[in-house]
Amino acid sequence: MTTSTARTATILMSCGVLCAALAMGLRNSFGLFLAPMTEANVWTASGFSFAIALQVLLNGASQPICGQLADRYGGRAVVIGGAVLYAIGILGMLLASALGMFTFFAGLVMGVAVSAAGMPIIIATLTRLLPESKRGLAVGLGTAGSSFGQFLVVPLAGFGIGALGWQMTLALMAATALLMIPLALPLAEPPRPKVAPKDEETARQALSRALRTPSFWYLFFGFFVCGLHISFLTTHLPGFVHYCGLPVAVGAGAIGLIGLFNVAGSLAAGELTQRWKRRELLVIIYAARGVLITGFMLVPKTTTTVMIFSAIMGLLYLSTVPPTVALVARNFGTRWLATIFGLVFLGHQLGGFTGAFMGGVVLDLTGSYDLMWWIGVGASAFAALVHLPVKDPPMPRAAGAAA
């Protein structure tokens, strides 16, 4: 790789990482607003949770569509549009006076915004723009950037709620979302070479091939579990900490600590994805989550145990992404990677909807989160088992244009 090419790769990865950091950090701050907004507006926890769960669901449903737009027209335009929707959605959450209006902006508008400006589009764009030798690093860095945003933005949002109030904090978050626009500018993809239609697989053909492949469904349902864990934690961990009698700052710190340690976890997963078997890596990650949650449920809930749990969970948090992206690329190629991974990501977000909404329902019905934690343990065992038959072939040369 020449010096000029290396410099270009560095710029691409840096802008992609920062953009992913802002998108994930802003999104994962919404759980901090559950207590102040429900108290101020006299909403139920399950009502607020449904809006966030709907966001996760719409994120998943619109991800393949945004992915196909990025595959056809380039990731830069899609990410810029997502940044604008981010600002509109957050401002709408601020101005909402009724739960229905809040659900529209937090659920529908933000759901599409997160799809357009989120990590899957950025990672797929970087995967196409960079040589194969850099793809594992790029996916690891993109995932780590998302985690760093969680580490940086979530505690700042928590501080803002305490110092400035939740209204001013949402206004500042809306303005911050617009910073993703200049960061997306370098993500321009060169024109694709003209090929005869008979020589190129169409998006419909690629999707049809994926849907007929068992490995696609194993990855889909495994990613469902990942989404269930992540959305439950980001939406309800601060509330769980509060119900355990610990200060609100501990909940915000726990989410931030997950993000910090996932920087290391994602980078390590990206490196291992290049060097080791991706299928076995996913089995280990999901099994380790189940062991960790079980241990957490069996110990007293103190600031120390919450922080230890958060740090270890951070190592496992989004470390599933690099091997999952790599397995999608290896099974189906890179030409329609954003589209097919977007469909796998739909499984993730269906799980996210389940985790976010079910957490609120369980709390309203039982007055405790305990049942939801044990559901998470069972889901970990399922995910570890379902990845065992996934095929991990060499990177295909014919199916993906950039392979």
Question: CA dihedral defined by 66, 70, 72, 73, rounded to 10 degrees?
Answer: 120
Superfamily of domain 12-182+212-386, CATH level 4: MFS general substrate transporter like domains (1.20.1250.20)
Lowest mean pLDDT among 12-16, 137-141, 161-165, 362-366: 137-141
Q: Can you give the pLDDT at residue 327? A: 85
267 versus 400: the higher-pLDDT residue is 267
User: Looking at residues 300-316, what average pLDDT do you find?
Assistant: 91
Q: Give the residue with greater pLDDT, 249 vs 231.
A: 231
Q: Looking at residue 395, what is its pLDDT?
A: 59
Output the pLDDT for position 82: 94
Q: Is 122 a residue whose pLDDT tops 60?
A: yes
When pLDDT is averaged across residues 25-45 and rounded to a whole number, the result is 85
- When pLDDT is cut at 50, 70 and 90, the band that residue 398 belongs to is very low
- 64 burial (CB, 10 Å; 0-12 / 13-18 / 19+) is buried
Please tell me the pTM assigned to this model: 0.70
DSSP for 247-293, written as a single string: -HHHHHHHHHHHHHHHHHHHHHHHHHHHHS-HHHHHHHHHHHHHHHH
The arithmetic mean of pLDDT across residues 121-128, rounded, is 78
* Dihedral angle of Cα 90, 64, 179, 188, to the nearest 10 degrees: -160
